[in-house]
Amino acid sequence: GQQVMQIPQYQHVQEGEDFTTYCNSSTTLSNIQWYKQRPGGHPVFLIQLVKSGEVKKQKRLTFQFGEAKKNSSLHITATQTTDVGTYFCSNNAGNMLTFGGGTRLMVKP
């Protein structure tokens, strides 16, 4: 399936700082889904992007899909301790989802 690579693997931020994770592919993606996994929990769906250049917001979270549909980003403004967890991007290929390796966010209060 189409592989998606995420960077960075880890990010430590001070509470109140911004955070961004990037998802990249060498091929054009049909769509991108983002999931969040809290420590010890299971992945939970956040959002899906389908259109070239699409931007969606959920409160302090901003999701973007690149114009060429080969990359995506998740930006969190003014992180809070509740944002701690691992953020995964995934690509839909037929009936399969291929997940990136995830970015683990740690927030220092």
Q: Give me 15's structure tokens.
A: 């509470």
Provide the Cα torsion 24, 25, 28, 32; round to 10°.
-50
Please name the residue that has the structure tokens 């389908």: 50
Contact flag: residue 30 with another protein (CB under 8 A): yes
Q: Which stretch binds another protein (CB under 8 A): 13-21, 60-68, 72-80, 98-106?
A: 98-106
β-bridge mates for residue 65, sequence order: 72
The amino acid at residue 84 is V
Of the candidates 10, 9, 52, the residue with the CA atom closest to the CA atom of residue 31: 52
Cβ at position 62, least distance to another protein in Å: 19
CB of 99 to another protein, least distance (A): 4
What x/- string results for residues 41 through 80 when contact with another protein is judged by CB under 8 A? xxxxx--x-x------------------------------
Binding site for another protein (CB under 8 A): 1, 6, 30-31, 33, 41-45, 48, 50, 88, 92, 95-102, 104
